[in-house]
Amino acid sequence: MYDYLVVGAGLFGAVFAREAARVGKKCLVIDKRAHAGGNLYCESAEGINIHKYGAHIFHTSDSEVWDYINQFAEFNRYTNAPVANFKGEIYNLPFNMNTFYKLWGTASPDEAKRMIDSQRGSISEPKNLEEQAISLVGADIYEKLIKGYTEKQWGRRCEELPAFIIKRLPVRFTYDNNYFNDRYQGVPIGGYNQIFDRLLGDCDVALETDYFTHRGMKAKKTVYTGMIDEFFGCEFGPLEYRSLSFETETLDTQNFQGNAVVNYTSGDVPFTRIIEHKHFEFGDQPKTVITREYPKAWQKGDEPYYPVNDKANTERYLKYQALAKNERNVIFGGRLGSYRYYDMWRVIREALDMARREL
């Protein structure tokens, strides 16, 4: 009999399984997909690692997590510095002195601050996302760099979206295009799959195995990282997600857009961004592979990418969470088990903490 049945060979499941195996526990890790790695999985094409479920850049300020992940792969010095394409005009992100100079020709922080302040208006209690964004960064940034992108992401107009979606917007009065403020950042040289080969090396792994069609599998305990509502037969109704569809294309050119991530911020382009995968690893292959990312509403069968943490879904999740607390032999974890958007470092942190409590 296995000590642990781990449902989901993504980051949470694989880190937990590795820690359990390290202290001599027998683990069976199952995944309904044909590969391990969850959303970090990479496919190879033209000698380039393709981030199949969306671009993944590792970043953290947690040195224990950084040391942990570096045991399983060597990371490069990739720094996320996306650019925005608004109707053919290029702007640096996150909003910083380079962005402001391009927008208004302001060369000093004081000039840029004055320009933003002059556009913020006097909204004291923003009623919707549009008012919230304008009150934070002013009308120009909102119109060119936020409005269209956000409306595509959520499938709704900014006037109809709640203000809380944008709590703060990173605005930097330095010429610094580094998207993240974290101490550590990079992409594994050779892609993410090697990390999972190593994490799962001492466990049994069964792929293309859905927990719900193999529910009779026996183990002393289950670690479940799938959708929490599905575990309980959606008895309080399904939780809502946003999904994505990806359109990947190989191009007979060496360098298509000169950057790994280009956001398309105007509403008249249907996709939100184009990823050119080779730039994550500074590739110089003769061809290139790009992926256009289209946000869409989630329906059963689609990949559940982003939880919709509004009031109704949060209340529904809390009901599932209460049921989960009664499951004495099941541990719920990961982004789907917790109905939370988690960056990779946070998932590792949660899995390590969970393993410490459990083992």
Stretch that binds ligand FAD, among 3-11, 95-103, 194-202, 320-328 (CB under 6 A): 3-11
274 binds ligand FAD (CB under 6 A): no
Q: At what angle do helices 109-119 and 97-104 cross, to 10 degrees?
A: 70
Length of the chain: 359
Catalytic residue among 77, 168, 356, 357: 168
DSSP string, 81-114: --EEEETTEEEESSB-HHHHHHHH---SHHHHHH
Task: Find the part of the chain contacting ligand FAD (CB under 6 A) among 24-32, 85-93, 127-135, 150-158.
Answer: 24-32
Does residue 8 touch ligand FAD according to CB under 6 A?
yes
d(CA 290, CA 256): 8
The answer to whether 202 is a known catalytic residue is no
Question: Largest Cα–Cα distance of the chain, in whole Å?
Answer: 68
24: alpha, beta or left? (left if phi > 0; alpha if psi -120 to 50): left
Best CA proximity match to 144, nearest among 212, 224, 77, 89: 89
Site string for ligand FAD, 153-192 (x = CB under 6 A): ----------------------------------------
Residue 293 a catalytic site member: yes
Which parts of 62-121 interact with ligand FAD (CB under 6 A)? none
- Tokens at 94, concatenated: 């996150």
C-beta of 33 vs 279, nearer to ligand FAD? 33
- The reply to whether 38 sits near ligand FAD by the rule CB under 6 A is yes
249: tokens are 């294309």
Closer residue to ligand FAD (CB): 54 or 126: 54
Burial class (CB in 10 A: 0-12, 13-18, 19+), 1: exposed
Q: How far is the CB of 135 from ligand FAD (least distance, A)?
A: 28
Q: State the catalytic residue, choosing from 293, 316, 320, 350.
A: 293
* 349 part of the active site: no
Of the candidates 254, 261, 244, the residue with the CA atom closest to the CA atom of residue 177: 261
343 is catalytic: yes
Q: Closest separation between CB of residue 293 and ligand FAD, Å?
A: 7
Spatial distance between the Cα atoms of 124 and 141, rounded to a whole number of angstroms: 19
140 backbone dihedrals φ, ψ, rounded to 5°: -65, -50
Whole-number Å distance between alpha carbons of 76 and 189 = 6
The set of residues, in sequence order, having a beta carbon less than 8 Å from that of 252 and lying 6+ positions away, is 287
Is residue 18 near ligand FAD by the rule CB under 6 A? no
Regarding 283 and contact with ligand FAD (CB under 6 A), the answer is no
CB of 198 to ligand FAD, least distance (A): 16
Of the candidate residues 3, 26, 45, 54, the single one contacting ligand FAD (CB under 6 A) = 54
Q: Is 197 a catalytic residue?
A: no
Could you say whether residue 138 binds ligand FAD (CB under 6 A)?
Answer: no
**30 part of the interface to ligand FAD, by CB under 6 A:** yes
Q: Which amino acid is at 296?
A: K
Catalytic residue among 198, 242, 292, 340: 242
**Binding segment for ligand FAD among 31-39, 105-113, 136-144, 271-279 (CB under 6 A)?**
31-39
Rg over alpha carbons for the chain, rounded to the nearest Å, is 22
Residue 83 β-bridge partners? 92, 262
Of 6-14, 119-127, 147-155, 272-280, the segment contacting ligand FAD by CB under 6 A is: 6-14
Q: Catalytic site residue 168?
A: yes
Q: Is 262 helix (H, G, I), strand (E, B) or coil?
A: strand
Q: Is the CB of 73 or the CB of 347 nearer to ligand FAD?
A: 347
- CA separation for the pair 302, 210 (Å, rounded): 15
356 given a catalytic annotation: no
Shortest distance, position 123 Cβ to ligand FAD, whole Å = 31
- Residue 343 sits in the site that holds ligand FAD (CB under 6 A): yes
- At position 59, the amino acid (one-letter code) is H
Tell me which residues are annotated as active site. Answer: 168, 172, 242, 273, 293, 341, 343
Which residues of this chain interact with ligand FAD, rule CB under 6 A?
7-13, 30-33, 38-40, 54-58, 210-212, 225-226, 244, 305, 334-336, 342-345, 347
